[in-house]
A and B are shown apart, each in its own frame.
Chain A
């Protein structure tokens, strides 16, 4: 390994992994945010 290496060329498999990984964490997070906003709406009714 050189002292300083760069490798930013993401392989196709890793691109798919990237989409899947962000979906995996994004869906529950968005669901939580949606639920919170729905509850918070009561504050201004």
Chain B
């Protein structure tokens, strides 16, 4: 055993070691999805962060913004920083996570995410915005990235028979987290508010402690299977499917394959299309159906989209176990193209039901794209470094997070400036999104198995396990 391994195996934090997380006989693998959900339901809060924006512009003025209060444009950076650091930490900590195991990674994610809230609460107390950038944006963002990828490989190893369903269940939690955090945050701000306080600081402290506890429960619950473990009655297919490898590709080697970049493009384009319209859903619904969809109804519409985003993660990822990952993405892109193209028509025929139905399916496929990608990576690159490769691939999400909203906002603004009525201004955007999905369709169609020259040899695999 190496010195580093000795240092890791004992002391106060010895229980975090991979060796202490190996499941004993009698353990049920169905305990691992709730462990993953403990983390993903918490970090999914990031999508609900906007509920704090307006109250944080009144920290001094309380009822209305005072001259020294923060502006919305300054506050918008908190979310952006968190998403950027999500991508960066997922990309750079994947290999570390692979080495130390899921429990230490979840524990660290809990400290970062919960601690980020607590540091931000201090930032509110001292009225120092940089502390919130550092707390929620940088440290919390690292917690997001680490928490997001930490259970993926473990779930895939526990469920070799249904990897899509397993990762879909966890990543569904990320979609559902905002549905819990949004009403909870509003309720907490109301509870902590007083004539001299908007209640944000108390809410941050409470959320920080609740999330810390919840995510720690995930870290305590999680277990890895013993080497070579397989579920009862499961036999790996004797004749592997064409797109499913039984070999393993090292994370650094994966970056040298065209498949990695094809999948990067596939994820980026699927997310760009979804995220672009998700951010505009409220305004779009009200402008396409003026006088029929009120602001309150539009909020309900956004909530409904979140629900389909969450359900799609489970549904599509589970379906991919039966129909294959490549076929699942073919459906996302082909059906997505049709739906984006007919959305403007639903406005013209004045059908709210059809409009909502189109968006519900689109958002289910947006979520499904996130949830199916880990199993797709496992099929293409094997299980050994799937966590680390998934982390690197999530940079596509960060890129799409910038590209999608910018594309939608600028196209819309350009059209309105050129005299297009607001209700019709989204048509071109929808057609461009459909075009992006066509490119995604082609990239996915080009996917082939990884060349054997990239596979790890038996000796390399053994050495990597010993490391």
Contact = CB atoms under 8 A, between A and B. Distances in A.
Interface string B37-67: 1100100000000000000000000000000
Contacts of B35: 21
Interface residues of A, number: 35
A18 B229 CA distance: 20
A39 B393 CA distance: 35
A41 B28 contact: no
Contact of A8 (B231, B300, B306): B231
Interface residues of B, number: 40
Nearest to B294: A42
Contacts of B230: 4-6
A21 B34 contact: yes
Contacts of A4: 228-230
Given A14-B31, A21-B221, A40-B301, A6 B229 contact: yes
A41 B323 CA distance: 34
A10 B446 CA distance: 44
Given A28-B41, A42-B300, A10 B28 contact: yes
Contact of A39 (B176, B232, B293, B303): B303
A40 to B, nearest CB: 4
Contacts of B180: 28-29, 31-32
B297 A42 contact: yes
A17 B325 CA distance: 33
B229 A15 contact: no
Interface of B: 25-28, 30-31, 34-35, 37-38, 41, 173, 176, 179-180, 182-183, 217, 221, 226-233, 293-294, 296-297, 299-301, 303-304, 306-307, 352, 356
14 contacts: A3-B228, A7-B26, A8-B28, A11-B26, A14-B26, A24-B38, A28-B180, A29-B176, A29-B179, A32-B176, A35-B303, A36-B304, A40-B300, A40-B307
7 closest pairs, A vs B, by CB?
Answer: A11-B26, A32-B179, A8-B232, A32-B180, A21-B34, A40-B304, A36-B303
